[in-house]
Amino acid sequence: MDLTEMIAALEQALALSPDNAPLRLQLAALCMNADRWSDAEMHYKQVLINNPQDQKAKLGLARLFQRTDRLSAAIVIYDELYDRGVRDPELLLAYSRALVRDGSDNRAQQVYMELVAKAPNMADDELDSLFRLSGREVGDIEDGDDNDALDRLLIKPDVKFADVGGMDGVKKEIALKIIMPFRQPDLYKAYNKKAGGGILLYGPPGCGKTFIAKATAGEIDARFVSVGISDVLDMWIGNSEKNLAGIFGAARENTPCVLFFDEIDALGANRGHMKHSGGRHLINQFLSELDGTGSTNEGILIMGATNAPWHMDPAFRRPGRFDRIIFVPPPDQEGRKRILDLLLRGMPADDVDTASIAKVTDGFSGADLKGLIDACVEDKLADAFSSGKPEPITTRDMRKAAGRLRPTTREWFNSAKNYALYANDGGLYDEILKYMK
Ligand SMILES: Nc1ncnc2c1ncn2[C@@H]1O[C@H](COP(=O)(O)OP(=O)(O)OP(=O)(O)O)[C@@H](O)[C@H]1O
Ligand SMILES: [Mg+2]
């Protein structure tokens, strides 16, 4: 896939989710590579409108200014990021270069030394010779960066099923479909049932897909390898250190583990809808890794989550791949009560009648409930500032906040309904219709 094609592909993707900041940043970076300065500038600024503190967008904008000869504007941003303690190697390198061009050699050298200490593989010939660093000094600390990138994907979660409110149906299915076969492989073999294959969780945003995947790892005391959208984008762009083979390799070396692909529709997009061979190649590679071609996925529980399962290539649903598809609905009343109880743990709260709050929050996701409590906390803080005395959260506070807030899941159902009605592959999305009744 060449640059222009890649830009077109990302533009298409962005049209579907205009608020996706990582996607927009990636597109901006590609526009920079293609010397499409005004497009890049527009995208960086758009990200900053939504989130004025987005460091990546600021850094991008500064580099853009630098490339387009607005040096002092660039330095203003670099200064600010640097003074705020940002030490991203990319920033240090660009900052140091800008300072050199601005004639501030001392400061430039100081910044460059920091860079070399932190990320020796990013040493720069021109700056090296300017500041007369010997190759040795620079090379000394080299090596091991690839593993760092993968290590960052690996965690040992401290949440278990008990920390997840409601979701009883989902927990049961996960237990039956992947935890049991994992714990008792012999029993399953006796029935000639192969362990393996993955679970795909789908549903409206904020209802606990990512959370329960993490808790699955915690539940069986396994490691959690989480691959997010930005890792996936790196793969698209061909950033080798986090390629798919590397990620599956890291998982195989760290069994038992849960290998989790978040927002998997980005990686598993329908090949039929794709004009570009690069994307198809990545998906084929993903499929063959899932199949464990040439190696084994034993001891790896593969999970994925998405808001848009209909965008995924049907090949992902074949046996042995994501052959178990679970709908994660918004919590029911009982679930909401349990989530509220969990969220209020350790909070200054006054014996809140969570059951009554659960009753008036139909359609609220777990994340919405969290937002509800955050809103109460903010109110309480504002009160405490004027009275000088912190008061606990009460049932009344919560009911008041609930009246102001709207659930975020409805919109998802509006579009999901159409897929369930008109593209319901063999009843795949029946559960959506059942839930909506
Ligand atoms: N069942 C739950 N119990 C406790 N907390 C929950 C539950 N569901 C959601 N939350 C809270 O809401 C937050 C958001 O949930 P999570 O990120 O898992 O949603 P998601 O389904 O992955 O959403 P998205 O589709 O937007 O990625 C969690 O970090 C957690 O704090
Ligand atoms: Mg999620």
Check whether residue 342 and residue 320 sit in a common domain: no
Residue that finishes a domain, picked among 327, 342, 357: 327
pLDDT tens across 177-201, in order? 888 887 887 777 777 666 567 899 9
* Percent of the chain with pLDDT strictly greater than 70: 88
Q: Give me the domain span that covers residue 353.
A: 333-404
User: Hey, what are 320's tokens?
Assistant: 């042995």
Residue identified by tokens 């490339």 is: 67
Residue 33 belongs to some domain of the structure: yes
Residue identified by tokens 């890649």 is: 6
Residue 70, domain CATH: 1.25.40.10
Asked if the model's pLDDT at residue 270 lies above 70, the reply is no
Mutate to test the pocket of ligand 1, among 207, 311, 354, 412 (most ligand atoms within 8 A of CB): 207
Residue 134 is predicted with a pLDDT of: 41
Residue 63 belongs to some domain of the structure: yes
Average pLDDT value for residue range 154-177: 90
Read off φ and ψ for residue 59, nearest 5 degrees: -60, -45
Which of 172, 433, 207, 437 is closest to 307 using CA atoms? 207
Angstrom distance (rounded) from CA 299 to CA 97: 47
Check whether residue 71 and residue 110 sit in a common domain: yes
Check whether residue 115 and residue 44 sit in a common domain: yes
Residue 373 is predicted with a pLDDT of: 94
Residue that finishes a domain, picked among 146, 179, 198: 146
Name 202's bridge partners.
Answer: 306, 327
Angstrom distance (rounded) from CA 159 to CA 144: 30
User: Hey, what are 273's tokens?
Assistant: 């809808």
Residue 139 is predicted with a pLDDT of: 36
Residue 425 belongs to some domain of the structure: no
If DSSP codes are grouped into helix, strand and coil, which group holds residue 286?
helix
Q: Among 36-40, 171-175, 276-280, 426-430, whose mean pLDDT is lowest? A: 276-280
Confidence of residue 263 (pLDDT cuts 50, 70, 90): confident
Q: Among 52-66, 185-199, 283-297, whose mean pLDDT is lowest? A: 185-199
Q: Are strands 198-202 and 324-327 parallel, antiparallel or unpaired?
A: parallel
Check whether residue 269 and residue 302 sit in a common domain: yes
Q: Among 90-104, 133-147, 176-190, 235-249, whose mean pLDDT is lowest? A: 133-147
Residue 338, domain CATH: 1.10.8.60
Residue 420 belongs to some domain of the structure: no
Residue of 347 and 120 predicted with greater confidence: 347
User: Hey, what are 331's tokens?
Assistant: 């919590």
Angstrom distance (rounded) from CA 206 to CA 416: 15
List of E strands, 216-359: 223-227, 257-261, 300-306, 324-327
Name 382's bridge partners.
Answer: none
Check whether residue 167 and residue 138 sit in a common domain: no
Confidence of residue 232 (pLDDT cuts 50, 70, 90): low
Contact predicate 185/344, CB 8 Å: no
Residue 86 is predicted with a pLDDT of: 87
Which of 233, 259, 421, 435 is closest to 332 using CA atoms? 435
Check whether residue 12 and residue 135 sit in a common domain: yes
Q: What DSSP character marks residue 223? A: E
Which ligand sits closest to the CA of 212? 1
Residue 363 is predicted with a pLDDT of: 94
If DSSP codes are grouped into helix, strand and coil, which group holds residue 72?
helix
Check whether residue 85 and residue 211 sit in a common domain: no
Average pLDDT value for residue range 252-264: 89
Residue 82 belongs to some domain of the structure: yes
Name 306's bridge partners.
Answer: 202
Residue 348 belongs to some domain of the structure: yes
Residue 70 belongs to some domain of the structure: yes
Asked if the model's pLDDT at residue 308 lies above 90, the reply is no
Gap from CA of 307 to ligand 2 centroid (Å): 8
Residue 144 is predicted with a pLDDT of: 44
CA distances to 20, 96, 279 from 102, in Å = 35, 10, 42
Check whether residue 58 and residue 142 sit in a common domain: yes
Check whether residue 321 and residue 254 sit in a common domain: yes
Residue 273, domain CATH: 3.40.50.300
Residue 188 is predicted with a pLDDT of: 73
Check whether residue 283 and residue 376 sit in a common domain: no
Check whether residue 215 and residue 289 sit in a common domain: yes
User: Hey, what are 308's tokens?
Assistant: 């848009």
Helix residue spans in 291-407 (DSSP H) = 333-344, 354-359, 366-387, 395-404
Confidence of residue 274 (pLDDT cuts 50, 70, 90): low
Read off φ and ψ for residue 340, nearest 5 degrees: -60, -45
Mutate to test the pocket of ligand 1, among 161, 164, 211, 370 (most ligand atoms within 8 A of CB): 211
Whether the CB of 208 sits within 6 Å of ligand 1: yes
Q: Tell me whether the omega of the peptide bond preceding residue 181 falls within 30 degrees of 0, making it cis.
A: no
Whether the CB of 157 sits within 6 Å of ligand 1: no
Looking at every residue in the chain, the average pLDDT score rounds to: 84
Which ligand sits closest to the CA of 261? 2
Confidence of residue 237 (pLDDT cuts 50, 70, 90): low
Residue 212 is predicted with a pLDDT of: 96
Confidence of residue 434 (pLDDT cuts 50, 70, 90): very high
Q: Among 16-20, 234-238, 430-434, whose mean pLDDT is lowest? A: 234-238
Question: How many domains is the chain built from?
Answer: 3
Residue 179 belongs to some domain of the structure: yes
Q: Which residue's CA is the closest to the ligand 1 atom numbered 1?
A: 165
Query: Is the entire prediction scored with pTM above 0.85?
Result: no
Residue that finishes a domain, picked among 301, 327, 353: 327
Confidence of residue 271 (pLDDT cuts 50, 70, 90): low
Check whether residue 172 and residue 320 sit in a common domain: yes
